[in-house]
């Protein structure tokens, strides 16, 4: 599909020649002879051209007025103005309204082609960013905080109110894994800054020296190894949102610098002579009580009170177990899409096991459990055996034992982070092959899979089997 170029030109010969030329260049050209016709096309028919190439002074008015109307209504596309006579006032107004360029007639055709091509690239990039912001807005709507419990409903209500006001700072509290990052994305993409950047950083993940440079930026030569200017994350987030996760781990001197940025809306990068003006909405999160840290002298009281314009504390999963019936299908569907699985049926035994667990890792732990179960599932039924929740069995960690009935084998794996999913997968396959004395067919029957699938995993992990070509 060709990109659309709206050409507004009252000179009949010039308009016809330009339209013919840009059609040869691959554009879908719509030609308007005056301001009234262009207004009908743009505003009434809602044409969305990628580029508008307009004569500034038309018989029935100035194209600058149409640009102002178009920006108020839709705002899309890049505008290029041509004029045989123009004033400094006109050019200044054109640039203030967001015009891409301002050219004098007669204009060399090669130069005009370059300008139009550049405007097209710029407009495509803008549309891509707008579409990404629209998709993010849909993904992180208020309803993305899933749950039917009163606690989840209260959180959604607070998020809804915050999305409607231009707050400057917010502290999100709650245990690890309760969804502080999700709440931040809902607030950003549901608020007035959705089209601007959302920058996230974990303050506990970086050493103090590196964190200062990442946050505030630096000039070339500010320290050994600083070969060029680096825009800090605060400057990168200007116009949008900066999410400081685990802000309680920020050193006191950096807290003072951050407070100054919030108060003055400007910062001075390391080694810089001048300050940079920034406009940032700041969301801070901590799984520790910042008020307690203030009393202990580990967090600045003035920064805490400046950040606490609004406060939101997310409830732990153990206090909203009713939400499991909504959370589990949502997460299962997500991992089905990622892995090509088709898990749909969650047995009552699974629901019962999920409901009695206290979920110390909250929703993050639930996601990890569901990911493992979906990846290891062989059909549409959610596999109970892969829940491996603490307290459901007395078997030693990642061991193979015989069940009390029928001599069936069972396997227990740790959920303490000591094994990755791939390590678990390899351990399961290796244990089954060992238990079957190297017989792939018997091991496949134990795991409820096909011999071909098991052979693939055995080869992938380099697991030894019977030496003979036929292991049946």
Per-residue pLDDT band for 465 (boundaries 50, 70, 90) equals confident
The mean pLDDT value for 226-253 works out to 91
Q: By mean pLDDT, which of 79-88, 293-302, 428-437 is the weakest? A: 79-88
**pLDDT for 395 beyond 60:** no
The 3-state secondary structure of the chain, one letter per residue: CCCEEEEECCCHHHHHHHHHHHHHCCCEEEEECCHHHHHHHHHHCCCCCCEEEEECEECCEEHHHHHHHHHHHCCCCEEEEEECCCCHHHHHHHHHCCCCEEEECCCCHHHHHHHHHHHHHHHHHHHHHHHHHHHHHHHCCHHHCCCCCHHHHHHHHHHHHHHCCCCCEEEEECCCCCCHHHHHHHHHHCCCCCCCCEEEEECCCCCHHHHHHHHHCECCCCCCCCCCCECCHHHHCCCCEEEEECHHHCCHHHHHHHHHHHHHCEECCECCCCCEECCCEEEEEECCCHHHHHHCCCCCHHHHHHHCCCEEECCCHHHCHHHHHHHHHHHHHHHHHHHCCCCCECCHHHHHHHHHCCCCCHHHHHHHHHHHHHHHCCCCECCHHHCCCCCCCCCCCCCEEECCCCCCEEECCCCCCCCCHHHHHHHHHHHHHHHCCCCHHHHHHHHCCCHHHHHHHHHHHCCCCCCCCCCC
Of 408, 413, 467, 407, the residue nearest 440 (C-alpha): 467
Percentage of the chain with pLDDT > 70?
Answer: 90
pLDDT in tens, 274-305: 899 999 999 999 988 999 999 999 999 999 99
Q: Is the pLDDT of residue 398 over 70?
A: no
User: pTM for this structure?
Assistant: 0.63
The span from the CA of 351 to the CA of 186, in Å, is 28
Residue with the bigger pLDDT between 55 and 469: it is: 55
- Helices 362-376 and 324-339: crossing angle in degrees, nearest 10, is 50
Average the pLDDT over 35-44 and give the result. Answer: 89
pLDDT of 236 > 90? The answer is yes
Rounded to an integer, what distance in angstroms lies between the CA atom of residue 119 and that of residue 289? 51
pLDDT in tens, 166-182: 999 999 999 999 999 99
Residue 351 pLDDT more than 50?
yes
Q: Please tell me the distance from the alpha carbon of residue 110 to that of residue 90, in angstroms, as a whole number.
A: 24
Q: Where is average pLDDT lowest: 43-52, 134-143, 353-362?
A: 134-143
| pLDDT level of residue 362 (50, 70, 90 thresholds) | very high
Q: What is the pLDDT of residue 435?
A: 84
Tell me, what's the pLDDT at 295? 94
Q: Where does the pLDDT of residue 334 fall: very low under 50, low under 70, confident under 90, or very high at 90 and above?
A: very high
Tokens of residue 247, six digits: 């802000």
Confidence band of 218 (pLDDT split at 50, 70, 90): confident
Is it the case that residue 93 has pLDDT exceeding 80? Answer: no
| pLDDT at residue 400, as a whole number | 45
Is the pLDDT confidence value at 87 over 80? Answer: no
Tens digits of per-residue pLDDT, 310-332? 889 999 999 999 999 999 999 99
pLDDT in tens, 363-387: 999 999 999 999 999 999 999 989 9
Distance CA 26, CA 242 (A): 42
Instruction: Tell whether the model's pLDDT for residue 235 goes beyond 50.
Output: yes
The Cβ of residue 117 has, within 10 Å, a number of other Cβ atoms equal to 12
Biggest CA-to-CA distance, the chain: 95
Q: Higher-confidence residue: 215 or 403?
A: 215
Kindly report the average pLDDT of the chain as a whole number: 86
For the chain, domains (ranges, CATH) are: 4-135 (3.40.50.2300), 140-315 (3.40.50.300), 316-388 (1.10.8.60), 393-472 (1.10.10.60)
What pLDDT does 418 receive? Answer: 60
pLDDT at 416: 57
Q: Are 318 and 149 in contact (CB under 8 A)?
A: no
Give the pLDDT score at 402: 39
**pLDDT at residue 417, as a whole number:** 60
Q: What is the pLDDT of residues 111-169, one digit of tens each?
A: 999 999 999 998 888 887 777 766 666 678 899 999 999 999 999 999 999 999 999 99
Other CB atoms within 10 A of residue 257 CB: 16
pLDDT at 405 over 50: no
**What is the Cβ-side half-sphere exposure of residue 320, based on CA atoms within 13 angstroms?**
23
Residue 222 is predicted with a pLDDT of 75
pLDDT tier at 470 (50, 70, 90 boundaries)? very low
Q: Which residues on neighbouring strands pair with residue 267, listed in sequence order?
A: 276
The closest alpha carbon to 316, from 135, 78, 202, 151, belongs to: 151
pLDDT at residue 407 greater than cutoff 70: no
The mean pLDDT value for 198-214 works out to 90
Q: What is the pLDDT of residue 272?
A: 84
Q: Which residue has the higher pLDDT, 396 or 410?
A: 410
% of the chain residues with pLDDT over 90: 50
């Amino acid at each position: 599909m060709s990109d659309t170029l709206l050409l507004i030109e009252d000179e009949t010969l010039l308009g016809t020649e330009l339209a013919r030329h840009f059609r040869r260049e691959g554009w879908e050209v719509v030609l308007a002879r005056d301001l009234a016709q262009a207004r009908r096309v743009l505003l009434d028919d809602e044409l969305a051209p990628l580029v508008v190439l307009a004569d500034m002074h038309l018989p029935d008015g100035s194209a600058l007025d149409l640009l102002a109307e178009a920006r108020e209504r839709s705002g899309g596309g890049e505008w290029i103005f041509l004029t045989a006579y123009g004033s400094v006032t006109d050019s200044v107004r054109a640039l203030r309204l967001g015009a891409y360029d301002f050219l004098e007639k007669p204009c060399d055709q090669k130069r005009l082609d370059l300008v139009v091509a550049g405007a097209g690239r710029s407009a495509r990039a803008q549309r891509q960013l707008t579409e990404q912001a629209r998709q993010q807005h849909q993904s992180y709507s208020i309803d993305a905080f899933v749950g039917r419990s009163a606690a989840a409903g209260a959180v959604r209500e607070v998020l809804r109110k915050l999305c409607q006001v231009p707050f400057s700072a917010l502290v999100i509290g709650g245990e690890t894994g309760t969804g502080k990052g999700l709440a931040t994305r809902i607030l950003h993409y549901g608020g007035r800054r959705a089209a601007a950047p959302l920058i996230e950083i974990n303050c506990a993940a970086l050493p103090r020296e590196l964190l200062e440079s990442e946050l505030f930026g630096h000039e070339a030569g500010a320290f050994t190894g600083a070969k060029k200017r680096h825009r800090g994350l605060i400057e990168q987030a200007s116009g949008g949102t900066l999410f400081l996760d685990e802000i309680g781990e920020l050193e006191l001197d950096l807290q003072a610098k951050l407070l100054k940025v919030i108060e003055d809306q400007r910062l001075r990068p390391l080694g810089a002579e001048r300050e940079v003006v920034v406009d940032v909405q700041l969301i801070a999160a901590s799984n520790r009580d910042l008020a307690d840290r203030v009393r202990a002298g580990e967090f600045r009281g003035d920064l805490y009170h400046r950040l606490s314009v609004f406060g939101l504390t997310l409830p732990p999963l153990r206090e909203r177990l009713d939400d499991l019936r909504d959370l589990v299908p949502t997460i299962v569907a997500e991992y089905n899409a990622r892995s090509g699985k088709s898990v749909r049926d969650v047995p009552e035994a699974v629901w019962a096991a999920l409901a009695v667990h206290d979920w110390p890792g909250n929703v993050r732990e639930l996601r990890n459990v569901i990911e493992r179960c979906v990846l290891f599932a062989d059909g549409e039924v959610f596999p109970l055996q892969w829940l491996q929740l603490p307290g459901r069995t007395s078997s030693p960690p990642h061991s193979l034992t015989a069940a009390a009935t029928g001599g069936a084998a069972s396997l227990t794996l740790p959920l303490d982070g000591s094994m990755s999913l791939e390590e678990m997968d390899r351990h399961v396959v290796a244990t089954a092959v060992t238990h079957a004395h190297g017989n792939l067919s018997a091991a496949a029957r134990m795991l409820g899979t096909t011999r071909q699938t098991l052979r693939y995993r055995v080869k992938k992990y380099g697991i030894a089997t019977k030496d003979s070509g036929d292991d049946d």
